[in-house]
Amino acid sequence: MPSAKELIEAARAARAHAYAPYSSFAVGAAVETVDGTVITGSNVENASYGLSLCAERAALVRAIAQGHRRFRAIAIAGPEGATTAPCGACRQFIAEFDRTMPVTFTSPDGVVATTLAELLPYPFTGDALSPK
């Protein structure tokens, strides 16, 4: 099982694969599945800016596509000196799989440890639309 430190290190390493020619803001993310597997992602931008994909969603999509559905934590790493908390869209995306997932992210003051419940207290759940 990776430690919290190892998970943020995996996120930091994933920044190397960011495709961010428009913003130059390289982000890496690492999700830990319940079986201890670590799956990383990086942001992938597009000339049509709005199509750009955040590192968090890239990591989660990779994990889901590999058959994982349950997660223990997610870590996000951005450039030094930046606060790289997950954007609102990513918070909602994470909430689909775990509304209380531990979340760590880099900031100028060091690594911030929080939870999705704190970052997004009222996710849209769809209630009647809930997955069967």
In the complex with ligand THU, the residue whose CB is nearer, 37 or 107, is 107
Site track for ligand THU across 71-110, x = CB under 6 A: -----x-------x-xx--x--------------------
Residues 38-57 that bind ligand THU (CB under 6 A): 43, 45, 52, 54-56
- Contact with ligand THU (CB under 6 A): which of 7, 11, 27, 30? 27
**At 65, which amino acid appears?**
A
Q: Can you spell out the DSSP letters for 12-66?
A: HHHGGG-B-TTT----EEEEEETTS-EEEEE-B--SSGGG-B-HHHHHHHHHHHT
- Tell me the β-bridge partners of 114: 103
Q: How far apart are CA 10 and CA 13, in angstroms?
A: 5
User: Tokens 């690492």 appear where?
Assistant: 30
- Active-site residues, by number, are 56
User: Which residues make up the interface to ligand THU (CB under 6 A)?
Assistant: 20, 23, 25, 27, 43, 45, 52, 54-56, 76, 84, 86-87, 90
